[in-house]
Structure 1
Amino acid sequence: MTATPFFTRTGNTFHPTEVANGPWDPKSLHGRVIVGLLGFGIEQRCCGPEFVPARLTVDMFRLPTIDKPVEITTRLVRDGLRIRVVEAEFVSGGVSMARASCQLLRRTQNPDGSIWSPPNWDAPKPADIPTPTDPRLGMHGKWTTRPIVGHMGSLGPRRLWMSEVRELVDGFALTPFTRVAVAADFASPFANAGDQGLAFINSDVTVYLHRLPVTEWIGFEVVNHHSADGIAIGECWLYDEQGPIGTSTVAALAQRKPMANPSKR
C-alpha cells in the first residue's frame, strides 16, 4: 500500500493524518479509525495464532479531533488457557475518548454432529464486479468498494464488498484482525441510513468473529435495523470471499442534521 496511512507512530504515540477525518465533522476522527486503532493496540498486546479475537466491543463516548496525538493503553484482564480478556483505552490529547473490550478464544476442534447455519450469500466475487467510477464512493479513496445490491439509504436489501487501500498505522501491514476492526464501523451507516440521509451516529461497535478473514475483501450484508425514541440498532453479517466470518452490530443516536447523500458516503 502506498496511500497515506491513517496514523503515523512515534514511540507509543499515534498521530492522525489528514485522511483520518470523519463525515460528521472534518476536524474529528472517523469512527472506523478509532475502532481500528483500539483493535491494533489489543492485537499488539496479546493476540497470537492460537487465539481468535471472537468479540471486540468499542464504546465511543467522545469525538476525538484530528489534531490531537493519541495513545492506546491496554490491560490484560484474564490470561487463561482457553480465554483471554483484554481492555484498551483510546486517549486523545490526554483525554479518554473511547474504550474497548476484547475476548479471545483458543482454537480447538469443532464437536461432532451437525448444527444448522444460515446459507452462504450468493454474492459475486469482487473481481467480477466493475470498479465504481464515482469517487465519492468510499469517501474519496479512504477505502474501496464493490456494490452488490442496493446502496446506503435504499429501501431494500443492501450488500457490498469493502477493501482497505491504506495502512492503519504507517509501517504496519494490515492483519486479518485489524482489517476487520477498521472496517466494522461501516455497519452503522450501511444499516442505519434511510431515504432522507444518515441521521444516526453510532456510539459503539461490537464485532463477533468465528474466524478471521483470509482475503482482503470484507463483505457487508444488512440484516437488521430498528429504532425508537431516537435510538437505533443496526447489524450486518460479515463475509470474506470464502464465506461468513461473523457480524458487526452498532447502537446509534439520532442526529438533528442528517448526513446528505447517504449512497455517496
Structure 2
Amino acid sequence: MNEQPFFLRDGDAFLPQASGRGPWNPQSLHGRVVIGLMGHALETAFGSDDFIPARLTVDMYRLPNFDPIEVKTTLIREGGRIRMAEAELFSGGKSSAKASCQFLRRTENAPGATWSPKPWDAPHPDSIPDPDPSTAPMGRMWAVKPIKGGFGAEGERQIWMKEVRELVGGVPLTPFQRVAVAADFASPFAHASSDQGLGYINTDVTVYLHRLPESEWIGFRSVNHQATDGVAVGECWLYDAAGSIGFASCAALAQKRPPR
C-alpha cells in the first residue's frame, strides 16, 4: 500500500489525514475510518489468536473533525469463553463514537446439520478485470470490482472491495481491521437509490463474523433495505474469496438536503 494512510500516530493520539475526509461535510471524517479505528484499538488492546472478534458495534453520534483523536478502551469482562470490551472515541476532546466488541473463544462446531443460505456464486475477484478508477464509488477510497447490480442499481447488488491504504500509518491491516474499515460500505450499498443516489447517513454499524477473512478482497451482497418516516435499516452479507464470513447491518437517517 502506497496511498496516504487514514491516520498517523503521535503518542497516544491519532492524527487524521485528508484521505479520511467524509462525504457529508468536508471538515469531518468518513464513518468508515471511525469504525476502522475503533476496531483497531479494540483488537490491539484485547485481541488474541484463541478468540475471534465475533461482533463489533459502533455508534456514531457526532461527526469527528480533523483534530487529534484519542480512543479509550475498557475491558468489561474477561471470561473463559467470552471477552467483552468497549471503546470511546474523542475528537478534539469531544466524545464522538462508542463501540463494543464481543471476542468469543474458538472451539468446535456443535454437531448436527443446520440450515444456512446457499453459497453465493460470485466469480473470484482475480477473475474480474480492474475497473476504471474514475468510475468507482467515491473515487479512490476503495478498490472495487462490481459483480452484479452496482452502486445504486435496481435489485440485488454484489461487489468486491479491497482496501488501498493503511488505517494507521506503518501498521499493516489485520484481517479484522480490514473488515472493520470496510463495514461502513454496507450503508451506501444497501441504502442508495437508483434515481436519487444516497439519501441516508448511517448512525451505526454492527458487524457479525463467524470467521475472519482469508483474502484482501471483501465481498458485499446487499440483501435488505427498509425505511419509514426517514429511519432506515439495511444489511449486507459479507464474503471473502473462500465464502461467507458474516454480515454487516446499519441504521440510518434521511439526510437533510439544502433547499433548492
TM-score computed with the length of structure 2 as normaliser: 0.97
- Shift, 1:11, TM fit: 1.2
Query: Which residue of 2 is the match for residue 201 of structure 1?
Result: 201
Structure 1 counterpart of 2:38, one-letter code = L
| Structure 2 match to 1:249 | 249
Contact 1:138–1:144 (8 Å) recurs in 2: no
Q: Does 1:92 align with 2:97?
A: no
Match of 1:57 in 2: 57
Find the aligned partners of 1:75 and 1:28 in 2 and give their Cα distance: 26
Q: Deviations over 1:76-112 (max 9, x none)?
A: 0001010000000010000000000000100000122
- Secondary structure at 2:184 match in 1: helix
Shift of 1:25: 1.4
- The amino acid across from 1:98 in the alignment is A
Q: Residue deviations 1:57-82, cap 9 Å, x none?
A: 000000011x2000010000001010
Q: Distance in 1 between matches of 2:234 and 2:198?
A: 12
Residue identity opposite 1:120 in structure 2? P
How far apart are 1:113 and its partner, in Å?
1.6
Structure 1 stretch displaced more, 96-105 or 249-258 = 249-258
In structure 1, the residue matched to 2:114 is 115
The aligned counterpart of 2:166 is: 167
Alignment of 1:144-183 (within 5 A): 144-183=143-182
8 Å CA contact 2:166–2:173 kept in 1: the answer is: yes
The alpha carbon displacement at 1:153 in A equals: 1.6
Which secondary structure does the structure 2 equivalent of 1:253 belong to?
A: strand
TM-score normalized by the length of structure 1: 0.95
Residues 123-162 of structure 1 correspond to what in structure 2 (within 5 A)?
123-162=122-161
Deviating beyond 2 angstroms after TM superposition, the runs of 4 or more aligned structure 1 residues are: none
Does the CA-based 8 Å contact 1:236-1:247 persist in structure 2?
yes
- SS of residue in 2 equivalent to 1:135: helix
Distance 2:31 2:183 in 1: 9
* Cα-Cα RMSD: 1.0
Residue 233 of structure 1: aligned partner: 233
On the 8 A contact 1:219/1:238 being kept in 2, the answer is yes
Identity, % of aligned positions: 58
Letter in 2 for 1:207: V
Q: Which consecutive residues of structure 1, in runs of 5 or more, have no partner in the other structure?
A: 259-265
| Helix, strand or coil at the partner of 2:123 | coil
Gaps of 5+ in 2: none
1:5-24 to 2 correspondences below 5 Å: 5-24=5-24
C-alpha separation in 1, matches of 2:102 and 2:91: 24
